[in-house]
Amino acid sequence: MLTTLLSAGLCGIDGFLVTVECDAQERLGDFEIVGLPDTAVKEAKERVRTAGANSGFRFPAFSLTVNLAPANRKKEGSGFDVAILTGILRCAGVINRRVDLSRTCLVGELSLSGAVRGVRGALSMCVAARDAGLTEIFVPAENAREAAAVAGMTVYPLTDMRALVAHLNGEERITPVSTDAADFSDAPVEYTLDFADVRGQTMAKRAMEIAAAGGHNILLIGPPGTGKSMLAKRLPTILPPLSFEEAIETTKIHSVAGTLREGRSLLTARPFRAPHHTMSAVSLVGGGANPTPGEVSLAHNGVLFLDELPEFPKTVTDTLRQPLEDRRVTITRAAARVTFPCSFMMVGAMNPCRCGYFGHPTKPCTCSQADVKRYVSRISGPLLDRIDIEVELPSLAFEELSARDAATETSAEVRARVVRARAFASARMQGEKQIFCNAQLDAAAIRRYCITDEAARTLLANAYDRMGLSARGYDRVMRVARTIADLDESEIIRAPHVAEAIQLRSLDKKYWN
């Protein structure tokens, strides 16, 4: 007797449908699972057999063969347990064979008691099921809200196999879970951090606002205790809210990586990732025998903060060059080729030298000029070329730190300006499919959208000769100037916009030339 059901597997952050064929023959024999299963799938035999018995169902004393198709695609994880046991129980007559399951997907891991445990990537599997024309999916209860974010799918939360069998036999229906996109857009994002907490550092805060408005990568340089980490951690609070589409894509990554908190439907706040400088290249960009997302992908649509940037091994930071350029990471292994999205803002923070006090007004620096050059040269030129804004944070005076009545803008006030600037830029670039913010403008787009007046052109010409700008350096200045003009809601880039952009690139000569 043959039963065919549908389940789903994962490849990278994308799901794919798996046809589960269960065949029961009236002869003594083994229980075999074929179709290129990994160890976790092979172990499903004992989980399924014991879970069925402990759920009170008669496990057929037949020769059982389960085929997971397509047979040439590796099946990983424990999410096929529910589909396998359902197919076996249907062969045994426990589940009514007249129930139509041709448009149903079943996902979940079984405990030995028959309870259904959560799996990674439920959102991706639900998307794959919908795209294949299926209309309903059974997932573990802890993954149900996550999967319910997919429009057009009826999502049933599973707690145990007894509830599933009762539902399929029409004895006791499971109530589906739903999530409305309007609920997502109406849900406020509450941050515990605020820009109002940062004292002084007016220029650095302005630079962070410009970076947020244009999606620019930024490097903060200053001695210890000047607020570099404080500013970086507050950057997500001034970025535009996640759109529903961005939230779906970001949640898929965190679901596959297993970092999505239980009971969460969708991520509502932009990710902020701050890995330690002892991390490996694989941890940063992703990889492994079975490729998983790295920190750059977990920061997708958010912020990647690299504190003490020169302390990261050069072999690690140099792996950022391609993700920063292409906004995706492709990992090739013998068995598969996986692509992870990674469109993020990078914030780097560093001391000006190893001791941290180069150029400090009161604390003497113990580093020689050669030591300073050696320290900052740990940041490679190609990586530096992908950073549009550099800003130096000076040490704060006592009066700046202790002032109680200092008027400081909140994150909400800054974010309102950032949102307006992004909307202003979006209206200008409506026809673009690959450009979503000014930081992504290429040379051709700069010529189209970065229109300057005569005074700005004169200032640019003088700066080009005086600062010895390269063609790439010129493009960086123009991208930042375009963002500053957007904050002023000006289609024409004027001299003050160019002057501020040049100021935000003035540290190259001090530290790297």
| 187-235 confidence digits (pLDDT tens) | 567 788 888 888 888 899 999 999 999 999 999 999 998 889 999 999 9
* Cis check: omega of the bond before 70, within 30 degrees of 0: yes
Beta-carbon contacts of 355 under 8 Å, excluding residues fewer than 6 positions away, are 365, 366, 367
Residue 346 has pLDDT above 90, yes or no: yes
Whole-number pLDDT of residue 183: 58
Q: What is the mean pLDDT of residues 334-340?
A: 80
Q: At 109, is the secondary structure helix, strand, or coil?
A: strand
Residue 180 has pLDDT above 80, yes or no: no
Whole-number pLDDT of residue 434: 78
Whole-number pLDDT of residue 28: 63
Residue 109 has pLDDT above 60, yes or no: yes
Whole-number pLDDT of residue 27: 73
Which residue segments constitute the domains of the chain, with CATH numbers given? 2-179 (3.30.230.10), 195-400 (3.40.50.300)
Q: What percent of the chain has pLDDT over 90?
A: 58
Whole-number pLDDT of residue 463: 83
Burial class (CB in 10 A: 0-12, 13-18, 19+), 263: exposed
Whole-number pLDDT of residue 187: 58
Bridge partners, 264 (sequence order): none
Bridge partners, 331 (sequence order): 338
DSSP 18-46: EEEEEEEESS---EEEESSB-HHHHTHHH
Whole-number pLDDT of residue 382: 86
**Nearest 5 degrees, angle CA 61-CA 63-CA 64?**
105
Residue 508 has pLDDT above 60, yes or no: yes
Residue 301 has pLDDT above 80, yes or no: yes
Residue 142 has pLDDT above 70, yes or no: yes
Beta-carbon contacts of 433 under 8 Å, excluding residues fewer than 6 positions away, are none
pLDDT band at residue 83 using 50, 70 and 90 as cut-offs: very high
Residue 311, token pair as written in the block:
């302390």
Whole-number pLDDT of residue 113: 94
Whole-number pLDDT of residue 72: 87
Q: What is the mean pLDDT of the chain?
A: 89
Whole-number pLDDT of residue 406: 58
Residue 122 has pLDDT above 90, yes or no: yes
Q: How many CB atoms lie within 10 A of CB 39?
A: 7
CA distance 442 to 379: 23
pLDDT band at residue 404 using 50, 70 and 90 as cut-offs: low
What is the strand order of the sheet 303-306 is part of?
272-273, 303-306, 345-350, 218-221, 389-392
Residue the block writes with tokens 């002023």? 488
Whole-number pLDDT of residue 97: 86
Whole-number pLDDT of residue 196: 87
CA distance 323 to 316: 12
Whole-number pLDDT of residue 381: 85
| 41-76 confidence digits (pLDDT tens) | 999 999 999 999 999 998 877 889 999 999 888 898
Q: Which is more confident, 25 or 105?
A: 105
| 241-296 confidence digits (pLDDT tens) | 998 889 999 999 999 998 887 767 788 889 999 999 999 999 999 987 778 899 99
CA distance 75 to 399: 63
| 422-471 confidence digits (pLDDT tens) | 999 999 988 777 788 999 998 889 999 999 999 999 998 888 888 777 77
CA distance 256 to 344: 18
| 362-399 confidence digits (pLDDT tens) | 888 989 888 988 998 899 888 988 899 999 998 876 66
Whole-number pLDDT of residue 220: 95
Residue 186 has pLDDT above 60, yes or no: no
